[in-house]
Chain A
């Protein structure tokens, strides 16, 4: 279980202080798929970096399976938005996926099996020897997902992973994430600014206010577990949920004074 409690982050540069996160509390149950949505510039990436142990929060705690996070935790893998920079351009696809496994000191046979299995699972069998930059953007992000999955994490963090790919690739990748989540039973925390994507993917959606950020609202997405781009998005319930999330985000943008008063 991932527990975020009263998380606060203030950036300082010289005399200036910027409060990015004010007071965030939410939990993600094991095996759940939770989407975080918020208006742009609401500190989503700051939050994710705190959860991943890449950034020290100013106050509050992050706990993963009961242990406080104070550095990148071993059972956690991250997929970055900037796939072009997060994959190492000097390594082949295979080496990119394999390097973290080497660091975990897995035996060679296990590594080879994991690399093959995960590349196959993301639909990239046969590209092991290519360099990442020889692939399209969507394929590069698939490599990044394969790397995260091969790491065998209990929790997968995804930071707006599809923000930079075209719409059709994006739909395919969304379905890939759903499929992997159902098959591997990992916990997924997926950050996005796209409301449709959040409702389509998530089992729960947590809405964030604009910066300084607090939790605006949360809802459970009671759509059937089997989803597909055509029918799910045409479902009247999908539209209702989407409208609800949209309204909350709009309220978050407008309602900045009221949330400040509430704290």
Chain B
């Protein structure tokens, strides 16, 4: 009961304040919340969700999944080889430092403005944090764990799948979490640049046609999407890394 009050208290107060304070708003850019909520229901109908949100999400998932697979695979190869790592690390740091949205114009040159372009943009932006975190995680596998694997004849694929990848998985998860927020940003931006559907496209359309309550409802939808995706990520991560959180907890207590 007390917990529920803490979790819900402030959001309710804030929403109520927004609702009340904006109720009589004459400001064109900040319409009353009531109006925004009404337009939310009118704007984001099932048809609209299917036409605009689903394509966005599919691009997001395709790009994110590809980036995750590529990043982990390349990260393992680079992380296990000291020379390769020393050679490519400065280049990787450079690629990571490039603000991902500037890749949109470059990739438009190669891939046009279709779905392929958007997926490639997301892959290109997301792969670096996954890759660099995997390299770091693989490099930092405990020497005693590696010795144990060797002493007990755990080699070949088992060494990779049962020892190295699990040991690096907390770090890999940190990279995947960073990549998720980059993926959402790139999804929106690539659609703002050139698209005929999608969330980013629709919101910009509202803004250009000065459909302000609709634009606000789009911003709220994007916010909800970001929140839900990060919640899903945390749920999956909490399951997959249950051992890691338990271990941390056990270490903290001792």
* A22-30, A74-82, A107-115, A169-177 - interface stretch: A74-82
A133 touches B250 (CB 8 A): yes
A103:B155 contact, CB within 8 angstroms: yes
Task: Specify which chain A residues have a CB less than 8 angstroms from the CB of B169 in the assembled complex.
Answer: 90
**Contact (A77, B246) CB under 8 Å given A85-B145, A90-B166, A103-B158:** no
Asked if A185 is at the interface (CB within 8 A of a chain B CB), the reply is no
Convert B147-185 into 0s and 1s, putting 1 for each residue whose CB lies closer than 8 angstroms to a CB of A: 110111111001000110011010000000000000000
A86 touches B145 (CB 8 A): yes
Q: For the complex, what is the distance from the CA of A54 to the CA of B149, rounded to whole Å?
A: 11
**B155–A78 touching, CB < 8 Å:** no
A31 at the interface (CB under 8 A from B): no
Q: Using an 8 Å CB-CB cutoff, how does the interface string of A21-65 with B read, 1 for contact, 0 for none?
A: 000000000000000000000000000010011100000000000
| A151 interface contact, C-beta 8 A | yes
Is A243 engaged at the interface, CB distance under 8 Å to the other chain?
no
Whether B166 contacts A88 by the Cβ 8 Å rule is: yes
Tell me the smallest distance from the CB of B244 to a CB of chain A, in Å.
Answer: 7
B247 within 8 A of A: yes
B243 within 8 A of A: yes
Contact for B153 among A54, A90, A100, CB less than 8 A:
A100
If the complex has contacts A80-B147, A134-B250, are A90 and B152 also in contact, measured as CB distance less than 8 A?
Answer: no
CB of A67 within 8 Å of the partner chain: no
Is there a chain B Cβ closer than 8 Å to A251's Cβ? no
Interface contact B144-A80, CB-CB below 8 Å:
yes
How close is A239's CB to chain B, nearest CB, in angstroms?
A: 36
Q: Which B residues between 123 and 162 are near A, CB-CB below 8 angstroms?
A: 142, 144-145, 147-148, 150-155, 158, 162
B152 touches A103 (CB 8 A): yes
Task: Judge if A131 is at the interface, Cβ distance under 8 Å.
Answer: yes
Interface residues of A in 85-134 (CB under 8 A from B): 85-86, 88-91, 99-100, 102-104, 131, 133-134
Whether A89 pairs with B244 at a CB distance below 8 angstroms is yes
Q: Are B150 and A133 in contact (CB under 8 A)?
A: no
A88-B247 contact in complex given A74-B153, A103-B158, C-beta closer than 8 Å: no
Instruction: From known contacts A72-B150, A102-B158, infer whether A82 and B144 are also in contact, taking CB-CB under 8 Å.
Output: yes
- Select one of A54, A72, A78, A85 contacting B142, CB under 8 A: A85
Quick one: CB contact mask for B234-254 with A, threshold 8 Å, 1 for yes? 000000000110110011000
Q: How far is the CA of A151 from the CA of B149 in the complex (A)?
A: 13
| Structural contact, B147 and A103, CB atoms closer than 8 A | no
Residues in B with CB closer than 8 Å to A147 are: 152
Query: Could you tell me if A90 and B243 are in contact, using CB atoms closer than 8 angstroms?
Result: yes
**Interface residues contributed by chain A, number (CB under 8 Å):** 27
B98-136 Cβ-contact flags toward A at 8 Å (1 or 0): 000000000000000000000000000000000000000
B148 touches A133 (CB 8 A): no
Is there contact, CB below 8 Å, between B151 and A54? yes
* CB nearest to A82 among chain B residues: B144
Closest to A83 in B: B144
Interface mask (A131-168 → B, CB under 8 Å = 1, otherwise 0): 10110000000000001000100000000000000000
Task: Type the 1/0 row for B22-34, where 1 means its CB is closer than 8 Å to any CB of A.
Answer: 0000000000000
Nearest Cβ on chain B to A71's Cβ, whole angstroms: 8
- The smallest beta-carbon distance between B179 and chain A, in angstroms, is 22
Asked if A88 contacts B150 (CB within 8 A), the reply is no
With A and B bound together, what is the CA distance between A74 and B155 in angstroms? 13
Contact residues in A for B251 (Cβ distance below 8 Å): 133
Q: Which residues of A contact B166 (CB under 8 A)?
A: 88, 90-91
The contact string, 1 if C-beta is below 8 Å from chain A, for chain B 211-254, is 00000000000000000000000000000000110110011000
Interface residues of B in 52-96 (CB under 8 A from A): none
- Which residues of B pack against A, CB within 8 Å? 142, 144-145, 147-148, 150-155, 158, 162-163, 166-167, 169, 243-244, 246-247, 250-251
| CB<8 Å pairs between A and B, sample of 16 | A54-B147, A77-B151, A77-B152, A80-B144, A85-B142, A88-B145, A88-B148, A90-B166, A90-B167, A91-B243, A100-B154, A103-B153, A103-B155, A104-B153, A133-B243, A133-B247
Known A77-B151, A88-B145; further 15 A-B contacts with Cβ < 8 A: A54-B147, A54-B150, A54-B151, A72-B151, A80-B144, A80-B148, A82-B144, A86-B144, A88-B162, A88-B163, A90-B169, A131-B243, A131-B247, A133-B243, A133-B251
Please name the 10 residue pairs, one residue from A and one from B, whose CB atoms are nearest each other, closest first: A100-B152, A85-B144, A90-B166, A133-B250, A78-B151, A90-B243, A133-B247, A86-B148, A89-B247, A82-B144
